[in-house]
Amino acid sequence: MTDTAVTETAVPSLSIEAKFEAARLAARTLATVTTDRKNAALDAIAAAVVAAADRILSANEVDLANGHENGLSTGLTDRLRLDDGRLAALSAAVGEVAALTDPVGQVVRGSSLPNGVGLTQVRVPFGVIGAIYEARPNVTVDISALALKSGNAVLLRGGSAAENTNRVLVEVIQEALASVGLPIEAVQTVDEFVRDGAKRLMRARGYVDVLIPRGSADLINTVVAESTVPVIETGAGVVHVFLDESADEEMAVEIVHNAKVQRPSVCNALETLLVHAASADRLLPPVLARLRQAGVTIHADEATRARFADVVDATEADWATEYMSLDIAVRVVDDLDAAIAHIARYSTHHTESIITSDLVSAERFLAQVDSAVVMVNASTRFTDGGEFGFGAEVGISTQKLHARGPMGLGELTSTKWIVRGAGQVRG
């Protein structure tokens, strides 16, 4: 594939203001599009992602080469990389979104006033969603699919690391939209405006109804601090697993290994392992040996180093680090209270899990740990929209307003009150 093909756009270049206005107009159309037409668009996108694999992967190779030259981290390189298998998974995720129930028009609650006025609260699209993210071309497809199914237009700022891949993905999505008669402006990128595109999205109040950042803590914090558009905050993942005094050894070994090793570059991967002092002699050697066999570097406190030699010294910074790599911080704590206190201090409120055979400890952990997802005897890798049955996901919200945890279709809607009367007036 030539460089010209990589940089080719699906529509003539527009000013960013024109793109914002086109997104508003597209959102008005989508608000009244039937579920069948939205599903037809999603089916077309799912097919197009696979059919255009050569175009997409050629663009991705350019981005990967640029990332290598620019010293892109291992974790971000893994997020950036696409292959036939990942494209097939993206296509399947879009198909799963098509199969989900359309949230638009769903009745949340309703009643009739004594005077006969009828009240109904229904789900409606936000309108225009903005997304700012880094080195995650899968987000381009996932959020587009979820936005379309929930009746929203979307403006994407995918970052320079994935610029070529995202450009081609948006072309493919727009071609699919055109094939079913929907406005291609329902999915647009502002990547050609580089950093100014992100700044303008953050200031696009009146055009953009909600902004969703996905990426590093620095990116998320910048968007939250600088945006005049309402933000749904997706958080970094300093994720914890606590091995309680009664934890089963085999379960502990398997869950910790899966949570850390299965895909270390993602936000639901384990970053800090906490171990009850009463179980440290029993559990640390087999758990850490399995991690070392997988190539994990263990950043250990003094009590851990006394029980397992093949480690490096942990620093204070390690407890607050999202490695996104084959690294893990390990600490021995006195008891459940100490584990909860550690999590309260260092967690980003994403996902935490306890491994225990004690029902009382499990229920205390569930009740007292303040994170978007709290687990008992399960790998943190399950915190995912697909695993939760949402199809794709927009992100993992770590805030407490509107949406928390994996965000699917319902989280991309607001509500509207419908009032039906027969001439009633207020006395």
Residues 268 and 298 in one domain: yes
Q: Which of 154, 219, 224, 210 is nearest to 182 (CA)?
A: 154
What's the confidence (pLDDT) of residue 218? Answer: 85
Distance CA 268, CA 168 (A): 28
Give Cα separations from 214 to 157, 385, 420 (angstroms): 10, 14, 40
19 domain residue, yes or no: yes
Residues 176 and 263 in one domain: no
What's the confidence (pLDDT) of residue 13? Answer: 67
Which two structure tokens, joined as six digits, stand for 380?
Answer: 């943190």
Which residues span the domain enclosing 117? 3-234
Residues 257 and 350 in one domain: yes
398 domain residue, yes or no: no
What's the confidence (pLDDT) of residue 396? Answer: 86
Residues 38 and 94 in one domain: yes
Angle between helices 137-149 and 163-179 (to 10 degrees): 30
Residues 103 and 251 in one domain: no
Distance CA 361, CA 373 (A): 17
What's the confidence (pLDDT) of residue 310? Answer: 92
Residues 94 and 188 in one domain: yes
402 domain residue, yes or no: no
CATH of the domain at 261: 3.40.309.10
388 domain residue, yes or no: no
Burial pattern 82-118, b for ≥16 Cβ within 10 A else e, equals: beeeebebbbbbbbbbbebebbbeeeeeeeeeeeeee
406 domain residue, yes or no: no
Which two structure tokens, joined as six digits, stand for 333?
Answer: 């704590």
Residues 181 and 256 in one domain: no
What's the confidence (pLDDT) of residue 86? Answer: 96
Which two structure tokens, joined as six digits, stand for 164?
Answer: 């070529």
Distance CA 26, CA 47 (A): 23
Give Cα separations from 345 to 320, 332, 371, 409 (angstroms): 9, 16, 12, 32
* DSSP line for 193-238: GHHHHHHHHHT-BTTBSEEEEES-HHHHHHHHHH-SS-B--B----
Which two structure tokens, joined as six digits, stand for 288?
Answer: 């850490």
C-beta atoms surrounding 80 within 10 Å: 23
Q: What is the CA radius of gyration of the chain?
A: 23
CATH of the domain at 54: 3.40.605.10
C-beta atoms surrounding 135 within 10 Å: 26
416 domain residue, yes or no: no
Domain boundary among 234, 267, 283: 234
Distance CA 411, CA 404 (A): 9
Instruction: Give me the average pLDDT of each 10-residue run along the chain (427 residues).
Output: 36 81 97 96 98 97 95 89 96 94 96 96 97 92 95 96 96 98 97 93 96 86 93 87 98 98 93 98 98 98 96 97 95 98 96 97 97 96 88 80 85 94 93
C-beta atoms surrounding 281 within 10 Å: 12
Domain boundary among 234, 260, 285: 234
Residues 246 and 138 in one domain: no
324 domain residue, yes or no: yes
Residues 213 and 245 in one domain: no
Domain boundary among 217, 234, 251: 234
Angle between helices 217-226 and 194-202 (to 10 degrees): 50
For the chain, the domain total comes to 2
Residues 101 and 171 in one domain: yes
Angle between helices 35-51 and 53-69 (to 10 degrees): 70
422 domain residue, yes or no: no
Residues 277 and 222 in one domain: no
In which element (H, E) is residue 108 found?
A: strand 107-112
Residues 230 and 248 in one domain: no
Which two structure tokens, joined as six digits, stand for 193?
Answer: 């405006």
